[in-house]
Structure 1
């Protein structure tokens, strides 16, 4: 069974997606919602529907376009362990 159809995989219901940008829009944080693809003509395409600012500014915040992930505290803890210089913006 596909992971996008298994609520247990993401900890919440997750409907099928139509394309990569739609999948990126559902990521738990804007700084994670970035895709890079090498095209057939050797150019690089970047998809960042929530922008690149948080990535470059080392900001971790919940995705404003979805509910806060149920495991948000774990996401924060794991990322701060790897990158203590992150600025974490908690949900309101």
Structure 2
């Protein structure tokens, strides 16, 4: 599997939602093809089959995840509402944007938590990483329950 340096910022995630090919090997083949395709892109690009997340999420983050029903469902579960958006190309009709929380946080550089799945530690780690990259980023705290 292709890995990236720990310090490299990943600015583009490519989300797949293929419930038919759930094996690690199938996902890795797509990752390798994407690495070759995007080799000349200066920013980090990560490709993941979101239909596989439930297979590894609990082991990696300590909480179980139900299988996502679609790419939009996966996006709805991202650790920050600021990151909850996707753009897809619809055959014959151009681009379709999915942004359930809008773009105010993104363009206003305000990171907001989305506590529907990701643990607090995941959000806070991402917040530290992104704030180091973009010092103007305003990070809203995880909600106290």
TM-score band, normalised by the shorter chain?
0.7 to 0.9
Shift of the alpha carbon at 1:12?
A: 2.2
Q: Which of 32, 36, 60 is 2:111 aligned to?
A: 60
Give ranges in structure 2 of 5+ residues lacking alignment.
1-22, 24-51
Find 1:15's aligned residue among 48, 66, 71.
66
Q: Which has the higher strand share?
A: 2
Are 2:113 and 1:48 equivalent residues in the alignment? no
How many residues in Structure 1 have an aligned counterpart in Structure 2? 91
Residue 143 (structure 2) pairs with residue 86 (structure 1): no
TM-score by length of 1: 0.82
Q: Greater Rg, structure 1 or structure 2?
A: 2
Whose RCO is larger (CA < 8 A, sep 6+)? Answer: 1
> Is the 1:68–1:91 contact (alpha carbons within 8 Å) kept by the matching residues of 2?
no
Where does structure 1 lack aligned partners over 5 or more consecutive residues? none
Per-residue deviation, 1:72 = 2.4
